[in-house]
Structure 1
Amino acid sequence: MKPANPYSDEILNQAFAGELDPKMSLEKYRHVAFIFSVLQNSLAILTDLKSRKNYIYHGAISEHIGIGKRMTSEISESIWEESILNCIHPDDLKSKHEMELQLFHYIKNKPPEERLNYYLVMKVRVREKNHFYIPLELKIFYASSADSIQLALYIYSFTSANHADQNTHGTIINSSNGETFSSVDFQIKNILSKREIEILKEIARGNASKEISEKLYISKNTVDRHRQNIIEKLRVKNSTEACHAATLMGII
Structure 2
Amino acid sequence: MAIPTTSAHSDVLSLWNSKNILNKSNSNRLHVESNPLLTSIFQMVRTVPIVVDVKKMTQQYVGVDVEEWWGWKIEEIFGEGVLSYTKLIHPSDLGVHNLCNKLLFYILERCSTEDKYNLNILLNFKLRKSDGSYIHITQSAKILELDPDGSIRSLLVLLQENNTLSDSYQRRYIRFWGKDFDGRLYEYLPDVEDLQQIELPSKREIEIISYLVSGEESKTIAEHLSISKHTVDTHRRHLLQKFYLKNTGELINLVHITRLLDPSN
Per-residue CA distance 1:77-97 (angstroms, 9 max, x = gap): x65351x32221012133212
Query: CA deviation digits over 1:152-208, x for unaligned, max 9?
Result: 22211111415985871311122x37963123449xxxxxxxxxxxxxxxxxxxxxx
Q: With structure 2 as the length reference, what TM-score do the two structures score?
A: 0.49
Does residue 166 of structure 2 align to residue 182 of structure 1? no
Report the equivalent of 1:112.
113
Indicate which of 163, 173, 176 corresponds to 1:172: 176
Gaps of 5+ in 1: 1-16, 187-252
| Distance across 2 between alignment mates of 1:22 and 1:108 | 19
Change in 2 beyond 3 A, CA 1:111/1:178: closer
CA shift digits 1:120-161 (9 cap, x unpaired): 211111112321112111112223245221112221111141
Once residues 168 and 37 of structure 1 are traced to their aligned partners in structure 2, the CA distance between those partners, rounded to angstroms, is 28
1:88 maps to which residue?
89
TM-score, normalization by structure 1: 0.51
C-alpha separation in 2, matches of 1:32 and 1:177: 28
User: Is 2:45 the counterpart of 1:45?
Assistant: no
Q: 2-side partners of 1:30 and 1:81: how far apart?
A: 24
Name the aligned partner's letter for residue 120 of structure 2. Y
Corresponding residue number in structure 2 for 1:208: none
* In structure 2, C-alpha distance between the alignment counterparts of 1:155 and 1:103, rounded to whole Å: 17
Q: Which runs of 5+ in 2 are unaligned?
A: 21-34, 187-195, 199-265
Query: How do 1:106-145 residues align onto structure 2 when only pairs under 5 Å count?
Result: 106-143=107-144, 144-145=146-147
* Residues 75 and 124 of structure 1, relative CA distance in 2, 3 Å threshold: closer
- CA–CA distance in structure 2, aligned partners of residues 156 and 133 of structure 1: 14
Q: Which amino acid letter does the alignment assign opposite residue 103 of structure 1?
A: L
Q: How many Å separate the matches in 1 of 2:6 and 2:121?
A: 23
Alignment of 1:65-84 (within 5 A): 65-68=70-73, 79-82=81-84, 84=85
> Any conservation in 1 of the 2:119–2:181 contact (CA below 8 Å)?
no
CA distance in 2, matches of 1:52, 1:60: 20
Higher helix share: 1
User: Quick one: distance in 2 between partners of 1:178 and 1:167?
Assistant: 25
Q: Which amino acid in structure 2 is aligned with residue 80 of structure 1?
A: V
Query: How far did 1:110 drift?
Result: 1.0
Match of 1:156 in 2: 159
- Count of residue pairs the alignment pairs up: 163
1:104–1:149 Cα contact (<8 Å) kept: no
